[in-house]
Amino acid sequence: MAGGGFDAPEVAQGKGSKHKKKGAGVRIDMTPMVDVIMLLLTFFMLTTTLSAPQLMKVSLPKGDVKDKVKVDMGNVLYVRVSDKGNVYFAQGRSDGSESEMKKVDIKNVSSELEKIYAVNNNLLLLLKFDRKMKYNVMSDVFDEISRAKIERRYAFLKMEDADLQKIMAAGG
């Protein structure tokens, strides 16, 4: 290895010239450091969980479970979801009746909500989910509601037999 690691000495000025001549050829072997860093990198890459879980906040109404809250039935929107995961909207009327149920594709829930809220900004969503429905349908519906640019007011209600019959009549 004659002169293998030595660079040609550069033209140096002044006092330090002698020192520089010697120092110029010193090479630090980085291989062990790279090895260690590689190991560390692999370790951290394998142990990290990059997809951090997301949180969706749910607020239940204040007061006791048995508390009755009076709402204007003309200002409610029923959101019923069948056990198959079909979403139906129906708007309430002041006399307690409601409009015809309209089937909404789950992917369009947020845009449909925005359309309805453009007419009436003061709606309360009454969510009625079938108990046999899968949890991820609920989280999808809730996701859509959260993404709609509306003032969110909602309440979870129990699915009654009357609701089930309405859903059956509308195609399940």
Partner 1 sequence: MKKVRDIRKPNITIDMTPMVDVIMLLLTFFMLTATFKAAESEAVEVALPQSIYSDPDNKMKETDVMTLSLTKEGDIFVDVDNYKIREKIFGDQFALGLYHPDSTSQSTVMQTGKVGEKEIKRKVVVMNKAQFEKALVDLKNSLRGMTGNKQAAFQVVVKGDKDVPYGVFEDLMTSLHESDNKIFSLVTMIKSDSKKE
Quote the least distance from Cβ 8 to partner 1, whole Å: 14
| Stretch in the footprint of partner 1 (CB under 8 A) among 59-67, 88-96, 117-125, 162-170 | 59-67
Instruction: Report if residue 155 touches partner 1, rule: CB under 8 A.
Output: no
Q: Which of 26, 60, 119, 169 binds partner 1 (CB under 8 A)?
A: 60
Q: CA of 100: how far to CAs of 12, 64, 165, in Å?
A: 93, 32, 13
Q: Which is nearer to partner 1, 99 or 136 (CB)?
A: 136
What is the smallest separation between the CB atom of 39 and partner 1, expressed in angstroms?
10
Q: Which of 13, 48, 94, 97 binds partner 1 (CB under 8 A)?
A: 48
User: Should residue 68 be labelled a site residue for partner 1 when binding is judged by CB under 8 A?
Assistant: no
Calpha distance 81→69 (Å, rounded) = 23
Residues 114 and 125: beta-carbon distance below 8 Å:
no
According to DSSP, the residues that pair with 92 across neighbouring strands are 98
Among 8, 11, 26, 52, binds partner 1 (CB under 8 A): 52
CB of 69 to partner 1, least distance (A): 13
How many CB atoms are closer than 10 A to CB 123? Answer: 20
Measured between alpha carbons, how far is 101 from 71 in angstroms, rounded to an integer? 20
136 in contact with partner 1 (CB under 8 A)? yes
Question: What's the half-sphere exposure (Cβ side, CA atoms, 13 Å) at 104?
Answer: 23
SS3 163: helix
Q: Does position 132 bind partner 1 by CB under 8 A?
A: yes
* CA 172/CA 157 separation, integer angstroms: 19
**Which of 71, 134, 168, 172 is the binder for partner 1 (CB under 8 A)?**
134
- Joined together, the tokens standing for residue 12 give 């140096």
Q: Which residues bind partner 1 (CB under 8 A)?
A: 1, 4, 30-31, 33-34, 37-38, 40-41, 44-45, 47-62, 65, 107, 129-140, 142-143, 146-147, 156, 158
